[in-house]
Amino acid sequence: MNPLHTAELADKVKAKETVHLLDIRQEADIQDWAIGAENVIRYDIPFAEIKANPAKARNQLPKNDPVYVMCYKGKSAQTAVSLLEAAGMEEVVHVVGGMQAWGETMSPRKIGDLTYGGAIYQFMRIGKGCLSYMIVSNGEAAIVDPARFTEVYTSFANENGWQIKHVLDTHLHADHLSGGRKLAEETGAAYWFPTRDGKEAAFAFSPLEDGIRIPFGQQEEGMRCIASPGHTEGSISFVVDDTYLLSGDILFTESIGRPDLAGQAEQWVQDLHTTLYEKYPLLSLDLIVLPSHFSELSEIGPDGTVQARMEDLYRKNPRLQLQDAGEFIASVLGSIPAQQPNSYQLIRESNQGKETIAGSEEADVESGPNRCAVNS
């Protein structure tokens, strides 16, 4: 068996294949961030225990199915594989790059076509629960909420003969380092950022405000901005081709955005109620909601994407059934996760251009799961 790359692991998870995963990290690290899905059978055996008694560890693992060994960076897993093989195990290999590589694995999947020949693609960063988008119209592309791996977008655009004209962030991100400014600089594209989130930004940007349209491609397939505060004070959503709602971190397929990451939960939760109960209901219930994050691998659909119809979300999500503002506010404030995204304050500062993070430190700064939603 060859070592398993995280892109291959992602394909197995999306395809709902049964995966036997041996995680050899410390218990605290596993509790903080691990791969959890119905089709992933995980065996948590610390590396120290495998070194001490590989035969005992071998007996806790399946005999007739391949086992993939996961650590943080992929090095300890290689040693664990050697120990287990010496103990008589045959179908066992390490996951290349470990959880760090899992958190950086990203690939595009087509969501659908636009009315006049354009298309929209979802880029899924499966280990972080991050979603970004490329909207293509008349040979021009707009990128929404890009990750720091800008070469993924530029390569995809170049392969298809598209020119990246606009780069947009729906809000000031707190869980991952935005690739927005870097991508705009590399491609000569305009960089758009919410005006109210950019009050302390140390860089120039084109302001995103309620009601404006992003001028690119076939105008009928264009992007219309909707001010949708609540997760941040400046959060912006985009209606694309009157078919898709790019909801940022306001509305997810299983939850809604948390309002506390800048320490203003009491104020922002009221904005969140206004967005979800006054602004979004004015939009078509037939819109396909495309969020910028997901929390659980179970949110990935059979086609390998994360999406849902607006009507279905408003019918199924309990927090969209609370018409009384006071009841909604109490419910949200009582359901904010105790943990914030790892390094979220440093990430916010970096995404405002106020801090510089060395390239060698970016992966560790971003390490960890998505924590941008209230508990469902």
Catalytic site positions: 71
CA-based nearest residue to 295, from 257, 335, 347: 257
Angle (CA) 272 273 275, round 5°: 65
CB 232 within 8 A of CB 172: yes
Q: What are phi and psi of 80, to 5 degrees?
A: -60, -40
CA-based nearest residue to 102, from 205, 13, 231, 233: 13
Q: Are strands 67-70 and 40-44 parallel, antiparallel or unpaired?
A: unpaired
In the sheet that holds 92-94, the strands lie side by side as 40-44, 19-23, 67-70, 92-94
Cα–Cα distance measured from residue 177 to residue 15, given in angstroms and rounded to the nearest whole number? 28
DSSP for residue 171 = S
Cα–Cα distance measured from residue 130 to residue 331, given in angstroms and rounded to the nearest whole number? 25
Helix (H) and strand (E) counts in the chain: 13, 17
Cα–Cα distance measured from residue 165 to residue 189, given in angstroms and rounded to the nearest whole number? 4
Cα–Cα distance measured from residue 321 to residue 347, given in angstroms and rounded to the nearest whole number? 33
The dihedral through the CA atoms of 261, 172, 327, 313 has a sign that is negative
Angle (CA) 197 199 203, round 5°: 95
Amino acid residing at 350: S
Q: Are strands 213-214 and 223-227 parallel, antiparallel or unpaired?
A: antiparallel
Whole-angstrom CA distances from 329 to 231, 262, 267, 318 are 13, 17, 10, 13
Name the helix (H) or strand (E) containing 108. strand 106-113
CA-based nearest residue to 99, from 164, 224, 9: 9
Name the helix (H) or strand (E) containing 322. none
Which pair of structure tokens corresponds to residue 110? 């087509």
